[in-house]
Amino acid sequence: MKLFSIVLATGLLITSALRAQDSPTREVGLRLTSFDSFGMVYKKKLDENTYRRYRLAFGNLGANFVQSNTMVAFSAGGAMGKEKRRNLTDKLQFIYGTELIASVSLNSSTSGSVTVDNGSGGVVTYTGSSLLLVTPSVGIGFVLGAQYNFNPRWYISAELIPSVTASGTFGNGTSFYSIQAGFNSNSAGITGAYRF
């Protein structure tokens, strides 16, 4: 009987240790900021209720051909940060953290003009031939939101990411710099994610 008890206790310990290893440590999801703007989210568990988060915020490539002018625009951006979670109920969590946000855009025109967003709701237009403008941007975002866990594998979250960014536009002998602090509709998003 004593041998049976030892075997049973050992079996229970091994089973619970194996079950603990099955706990999901990664998450992947789709984040929508509007019906025409979305990005991918990947999160890796660092500690209990602490995650490293990566967002591919956007990527665009466009080309326009108007008579003898070819205009090409490319942009890409993403964010990396740390997210913490606090339980509000058994299924609802408060999420908060910070992100480092970076992006770059390239605009080119063989002849004509290129219009670039100045970051404060306006635009700057450059004219000439063989224009190439590069706009790098870096900033910090503050994550605030709530997450509802449907089950151990699926959840949905709503979050706001107000940010402060600095950018510069360079090319063809001109440059301008800007600093923006933003809290707008692009800072709000809904994410559906799967844990694995």
On the question of pLDDT at 153 being above 60, the answer is yes
Which range, of 14-23, 30-39, 80-89, averages the lowest pLDDT?
A: 14-23
Residue pair 52/44 in contact by the 8 Å Cβ criterion: yes
pLDDT at 65: 83
DSSP the chain: -HHHHHHHHHHHHHHHHHHHHTS--EEEEEEEEETTEEEEEEEEEEETTEEEEEEEEEEEEEEEEETTEEEEEEEEEEEEEEEEEEESSSSEEEEEEEEEEEEEEEEEEEEEEEEEE-SSS-EEEEEEEEEEEEEEEEEEEEEEEEEEESSSSEEEEEEE--EEEEEEEEETTEEEEEEEEE-SGGGEEEEEEEE-
* pTM (2 d.p.): 0.78
On the question of pLDDT at 125 being above 90, the answer is no
On the question of pLDDT at 136 being above 70, the answer is yes
Residue pair 43/192 in contact by the 8 Å Cβ criterion: no
Of 192, 146, 148, 153, the residue nearest 23 (C-alpha): 153
